[in-house]
Chain A
Amino acid sequence: MNVPGLPRERRRDFDAEVRRRAIKGGIAAAAAIVVVTIFSGFTTSLIVATVVVLALYAVPWDMIRYGRWVVPGVAIIAAIAYPYYVDDLFELPLFGPFPSVDTAVTMTIFIMMAIGLNIVVGYAGLLDLGYVAFYAMGAYTAAWFASPHFAESVGAVHVGSVGVSPEAEGFHLSVWVVLFLAAIFTAIIGVIIGLPTLRLRGDYLAIVTLGFGEIMPQIARNGDNLFGTGFNLTNGAQGINPIDPPGFGETISDWTGLPVDYLTFNADFLGRELGGIEVFYWTAVVLLLFTVFCSVRLRDSRLGRAWIAIREDETAAAAMGVPLMRTKTWAYAAGAFFGGMAGAYYASFKSGTFPDDFFFNISIFILCMVILGGMGNIWGVIIGGGFLAYLNQEGLGNIGAEINETFGTEIDVPLYQFGIFGAILVLVMLFKPEGLIPSARRKAEFEEGVHDEPLYDVTQ
């Protein structure tokens, strides 16, 4: 095999590796086909999917020049084309059909949040148990600036809004503006929370963030009459709705054919009837790609290396001249940025925001994603986040139905959701603390046992 870009002397290693992987992957693929066929029936899509996965696995792409772009490239294309082939996909045993596009939107948004949290927990090693506060902040920013909530106080303020009548009162900013506004606003909140608290280490920091995570939803719940002044900030337990949908407006739509607004969108494109949900999904994928790109670039930057240095040994990092406070605060701000953006987009997707969405378990749920996938590794976090969000949305229901049908039982599997996430946390930490797909560096840390506890205290 003549592989372009491969030096002659490495060709032999390459061929041996391909052979080894082809045999190993082939056996696994054949087993997978047999299992799926027995339990769920055979479809052509099964063969196609197996061939694609096998092809991606069998070739050691990292040994070829430009090869490392192949797997992410195929994954991105597969993700973008998802609405086109989801209905034809095979069913998995136990899990049932693949997630619907609606679920896929939620999954994508939660993956974004997990990547944001991964910056704080995975890169910088600061345990944040109150990440839901950032999610809430983003969602409420979207609710303030793209809904009729402030109708009485501000009149009609419109900046590129779509999907609402021009006379509608309240702030109506374009959702694209709101996304970045929410992200920046949340990042500022992250810095404000971080500045006094980031001096604390380890579990003390975890407790303080937990405290903020509990205070935020309470403010959301009681904010309809803030401190008795009668000022309605959050509309209390009813939440704020409707929130404007994203969209591009008439002018851009005339030029490019992009949807005017997502809720009423309906078109025929490449042989498939498209509704708002598909456009929501693609937008979420684009936002996710933006998040992944920023996260990877941040990790490889000077700042990212400083985060990892702090995670591995705070004292040594300080001795090497890493400014502890500034670096940690940046980690907080970056994590909060993506959490806020994801929260704002989710609020716009659901067209509302309610204080009951921001419980402590959401923080743990997102933490669970990061830990399951592998702290510090983006690809691990994407897979862990996608899997857990899927379980939460429809997976547990499917599994429950499947189990009850097979064994004739009456188990309400979604009731065990808490316990399952708790068990994931415990089992992963006990048996594979570096996660399912660890970064090599993190793995080494867990094996050697890095101690957070320094010998001496070092102020920045």
Chain B
Amino acid sequence: MATQARRLPFPTLAGRLPDYVVPAVAFLLVGLLLVWLGVNLYKTPNEFYRLFLIGLTNGAIYGLVALGYSLVYGILELINFAHGDVFMLGGMLVATMVAGFGLAGDSGLFLWSMILLMLVIVMAFCAVLNTTIELVAYRRLRHAPRLAPLITAIGMSFILQNIALVWKGARPTSVDSILPRGEVFTIGGVAYTWDKLIVLLFTVPVLIALLMLVQRTRQGKAMRATAQDRDAAAMMGINVNRTISFTFFIAGGLAGAAGLLYALYITNIRYDEGFRLGLIAFTAAVVGGIGNLPGAVLGGLVIAMIESFNNGLGWATPGSDWTQSIIFGLLIIILVFRPEGLLGERTPEGG
């Protein structure tokens, strides 16, 4: 959770090196990154702005998914592999609804109310699905060795992927483009379009609401207490099972919202998209500091920027073939050298 200092469950490599090594390497890497970005900005400014806007929008979606990972990890210390697939099923549901309601070509108030309706439906669907997964697959394993729920999570992820595969087939399901794509404003000759703005307009309030929920409400306090020490929380009269279910419910709702945005913005979705995006979002959560909510969004933005710049920039860029390797390479580097993430706090036990 946001305010709580996490204890790291392992000694880090960083602890064994001289103090100045890790910051020096980090500064070197960041410096190289800045040089690379600067040269590209100088050479092709328009392309740079365009990719920046794409990265910003994707980052918002990654951030929403990463929030779900972060919430669940914060409370159960479990990587919920099925989360990405819940997100994907949400996207598929939206694809079905857009086709079913015949929304293509509509506009105005009717369109917006239908989008809101779809948002409510898909959030409810994903929230219930995620809670059910917790109930079926994780609850019985609370006291089993740590690997057991992780393995069931992978199993659930495979089951959900198979459901989508049977439902929609192996080819990408296309979604009718219903978001307005006119321009809002132009920077450096690149138009910022409405669909991108809408994604951001969704994400920011959701993040604020979630932070308020976790930090200000009674339920949020119960969540933080359960995350810190489950037994002590139970002794203080907190219904631990219900709190955990509630966390999964919220995480599922976020996945549903992300699914809606993804389906409407990207306009196609495939059965294995959830797993791929889930891994990226998990990386985002780790980069930002797992269990840390603003960190998850920051991580999402960082990862999306890396992905977008790497896919599009021209000068000294590995290119889209290597995007996934770069992201996972970053994940490995972060886990090995700074497992508490960018915004995570160092603690005496973990440092």
Contacts and interface: CB of A to CB of B under 8 A. Distances in A.
Interface in B1-32: 8-13, 15-16
B339 A210 contact: no
B201 to A, nearest CB: 32
Contacts of B331: 207-208, 211
Interface in A325-352: none
A429 B151 contact: yes
B143 A218 contact: no
Contact of B325 (A125, A207, A219, A416): A219
B234 interface: no
Interface in A401-458: 415-426, 429-430, 433, 445-446, 449-454, 456-458
B62 interface: no
Interface stretch (A75-83, A106-114, A197-205, A285-293): A197-205
Interface in B261-287: 275, 279, 282, 286
B314 interface: no
A422 B157 contact: yes
Contacts of A456: 349
A243 B252 CA distance: 48
A197 B336 contact: yes
Contacts of B144: 429, 433, 446, 449
Contacts of B349: 456-457
Interface in B90-145: 136-137, 140-141, 143-145
Contacts, number: 162
A422 B332 CA distance: 26
Contact of B9 (A206, A210, A219, A453): A453
A418 B12 CA distance: 36
Nearest to A459: B11
Interface string B309-351: 0000000001001101100110110011001000000000110
Interface string A89-114: 00000000000000000000000000
Interface in A178-219: 196-197, 199-204, 206-208, 210-212, 214-215, 218-219
Given A222-B322, A433-B144, A415 B165 contact: yes
A119 interface: no
B145 A446 contact: yes
Would you call the interface of chain A mostly helix, strand, loop, or mixed? helix
A146 interface: no
A452 B321 contact: no
B140 A430 contact: yes
Contact of A425 (B10, B151, B322, B332): B151
B166 interface: yes
A423 B155 contact: yes
A426 B159 contact: yes
Contacts of A199: 10-13, 336
Name the residue among B146, B156, B350 with the largest chain A CB count within 10 angstroms: B146
A420 B151 CA distance: 14
B161 interface: yes
Contacts of A424: 155
A364 B275 CA distance: 13
A71 B166 CA distance: 43
Contact of B150 (A203, A422, A446): A203
A234 to B, nearest CB: 12
A371 interface: yes
Interface in B209-247: none
Nearest to B170: A415
A367 interface: yes
Nearest to B157: A422
Contacts of B192: none
Contacts of A426: 136-137, 152, 155-156, 159
B158 interface: yes
A221 interface: yes
B335 A204 contact: yes
Contacts of A425: 151-152, 154-155, 158
B78 interface: yes
B159 A423 contact: yes
A422 B9 contact: no
Scoring B149, B156, B335 by chain A CB atoms within 10 A of each residue's CB, the highest score goes to B335
Contacts of A208: 331-332, 335-336
A218 B155 contact: no
Contacts of A214: 279, 324-325, 328
A376 B93 CA distance: 41
B174 interface: no
A127 interface: yes
B190 interface: no
A193 to B, nearest CB: 9
A423 B159 CA distance: 7
Nearest to A206: B150
Contacts of A450: 145
B88 to A, nearest CB: 13
20 contacts: A202-B150, A204-B339, A206-B150, A207-B335, A212-B328, A214-B279, A218-B322, A360-B275, A367-B154, A421-B158, A425-B152, A426-B136, A426-B159, A429-B141, A446-B145, A449-B143, A452-B146, A452-B147, A457-B8, A457-B350
Interface of A: 125, 127, 129, 196-197, 199-204, 206-208, 210-212, 214-215, 218-219, 221-222, 227, 360-361, 364, 367, 371, 415-426, 429-430, 433, 445-446, 449-454, 456-459
Given A199-B12, A422-B161, A425-B152, 7 more contacts: A196-B332, A202-B146, A203-B79, A419-B158, A422-B154, A422-B155, A422-B158
Interface of B: 8-13, 15-16, 77-79, 136-137, 140-141, 143-152, 154-159, 161-163, 165-166, 275, 279, 282, 286, 318, 321-322, 324-325, 328-329, 331-332, 335-336, 339, 349-350
